[in-house]
Amino acid sequence: MPVLLDPAAAWPLDLLLKHVETDGLAWELEGGPMPRIAGLGTLQAAGPLEISFLSSARYGAQLQQTRAGAVVVSPEAAQALREGARAGTQPSFVRIMTAQPYLLFARLAQWFDRQRQGGLSPGVHPTAQVAPDVRLGEDVCVGPHVVIEAGVEIGAGARIGAGCAVGAGSRIGAGTLLYPRVVLYHGVVLGERVIVHSGAVIGADGFGFAPDAMAAARGDAGRWVKIPQLGGVRIGNDVEIGANTTVDRGALDDTVIEDGVKLDDQIMVAHNVHIGAHTAIAACVGIAGSTHIGARCMIGGAAMIGGHLSIPDDTQISAATPVPSTIDKPGRYTGLYPLAEHADWQRNAAVIGQLGALRRRLRSLERQAEAEGAAGAD
């Protein structure tokens, strides 16, 4: 773990907590003396200058051994510690009690992250190539070797990392951050406070081809005619897009990602997909064209969502699950061949191709047994 603050610059815990943006989340300190804090750590790794947190009751044992200076805990965990103390086991750390320990820890992490961030200098780096008519808001940072084409608008405080390419007519909202080597094609719209990680490509052509019937008629079978992808990509506010993820532009209408969607690395969003607000999608997921995913869904890593289908709001798809057709009602869905030792897998997989026949044979035995039962009942 990197050092987050120089230990000499450590803050007293109570002072630090007053500077952290907790967005109305209440907390209370218990125990003492008040430690000085220079960073964050897991229960196992944290030292006396660091805050840790108890995310789940099943890590309670780690709480006994932690060397952390302070730990964020739920009221229930704090109560258990108080009872332990009455029984003679005094905790060695200060408790930060709150109804949402993980959320408070996230806010602490955000505070430390802000202390660390040097990042880009404000202004346009002299090696960047910015078209004359580009409109840049206040305090926009444009890094080295960036290319920004004509007609682009970039909102206040946005940061464009080294080597990004922004295509003609795209719009980037205020406070948005592009890490190095992101590519936006022409006509891509990003909202405010969006984060796009390196290597992501937004607005490449959707995969659209028509069979070339004229060439086929001339005896040149199999050729494809490209359907130019004339739509764009619209991405809402507070979206995060992972490294090397691709979001293709629409064929005619736009590909749309609503507010607050979180996409991990190496996700593929095909043309004319629509992803509802606050849906979170883990890495390596593919979503085929024109599919509509609802709001607040959670999609596990490497799930593969077919095209031209829809998934309702608040649906969960398990990791590595293919979704070949529309899902009608919310719930959790899975489709995953179970893991086995290879020899066992071979033995059982050989039966998969006979399942229809097996069912018929079973039915035939059942009929025979029924007939005998009936005969026996005569």
Other beta carbons within 10 Å of 14: 14
User: Residue 269, by phi and psi: left (phi above 0), alpha (psi -120 to 50) or beta?
Assistant: beta
* Residue among 163 and 173 whose Cβ is closer to a copy of itself: 163
* Residue among 153 and 240 whose Cβ is closer to a copy of itself: 240
- Of 19, 125, 271, 342, the active-site residue reads 271
CB of 107 to a copy of itself, least distance (A): 7
Rounded Cα gap, residues 316 and 293, in angstroms: 11
Question: Residue 242 corresponds to which tokens in the numbers above?
Answer: 């992972």
The DSSP bridge partners found for residue 147 are 129, 165
Contact 233, 254 (CB under 8 A): yes
For residue 193, give the DSSP letter.
Answer: T
CB of 197 to a copy of itself, least distance (A): 4
CA distances (Å), 302 to each of 260, 299, 319, in order? 21, 9, 6
Q: Reduce the secondary structure of 276-307 to three states and give it as a string.
A: CCCCEECCCCEECCCCEECCCCEECCCCEECC
Q: Which residues contact 185 (CB under 8 A, 6 or more apart)?
A: 167, 170, 201, 202, 203, 204, 233, 249
* Residue among 153 and 212 whose Cβ is closer to a copy of itself: 212
The 3-state DSSP class for residue 84 equals helix
* Residue among 84 and 286 whose Cβ is closer to a copy of itself: 286
* Residue among 81 and 183 whose Cβ is closer to a copy of itself: 183
- Our answer to whether residue 186 is catalytic in this structure is no
- The catalytic residues are 271
